[in-house]
Amino acid sequence: MNRIGVMSLLLITLFMSGCEDKKMLGEILDGEHKLHKMVESIKINSNLSGGFFLVAGGIDQSTTEEIIIRFSWQMNDDTYAISSLPIEKIRINLDNEVTIPTIKFNWSYKIVDFTDTQEIIDYCVDSAVVTVKPDDWPIQINLPLNG
């Protein structure tokens, strides 16, 4: 087989494996998924770095807080997974007709380790839409009111 034939075969193999990976992602993320529970938590990220040369040196420290939403959702194989997303990636759809809260993922294909559901969520999910009844999403606006 000549070089062009080998390269063509390699490209077709890579393309087909990419299609299979995308199909597997779709089997996990596509559709609306029933939600069982959602909780809010705060993730604290700390970073400490320093450097010294002879007697001079310095230390830098930074701490950031990130609001994370953890949720239990029914996967397409009817098992439940526990996953999390930053609050910035979650949108809320209020619907009086919904009977069971759902989550729908907006995702894009990226190569990840398909054995870990959270890694798939972290790398492939761009945002998620949670659909709930208005009564299930209480209004809690804590803004200073100037009178």
- The per-residue pLDDT for range 63-110, each reduced to its tens digit, is 888 889 999 999 999 999 999 999 999 999 999 999 999 999 999 887
pLDDT of residue 17: 43
Does some domain include residue 142? no
Strands of the chain, DSSP E = 32-53, 56-74, 80-86, 90-94, 102-107, 125-132
Q: Look at residue 58 and tell me if it is in a domain.
A: no
The CA–CA distances, whole Å, from 139 to 36, 78, 107, 127, 134 equal 20, 32, 28, 22, 9
Q: Which pLDDT score is estimated for 78? A: 92
Q: Establish if 59 belongs to a structural domain.
A: no
Residue 80 lies in a domain: yes
> Whole-angstrom distance between the N-terminal and C-terminal Cα of the chain?
81
User: Does 114 score more than 80 pLDDT?
Assistant: no
Q: Determine the pLDDT at residue 81.
A: 93
Q: Which residue in this structure is represented by tokens 């870990």?
A: 116
In a domain? residue 37: yes
d(CA 107, CA 30): 9
Domain range for 98 is 18-43+64-136
Q: Is 127 a member of any domain? A: yes
Q: Report the domain count for the chain.
A: 1
pLDDT of residue 62: 78
pLDDT of residue 145: 57
Domain-located, residue 7: no
Flag whether 11 is in a domain: no
pLDDT for residue 26: 83
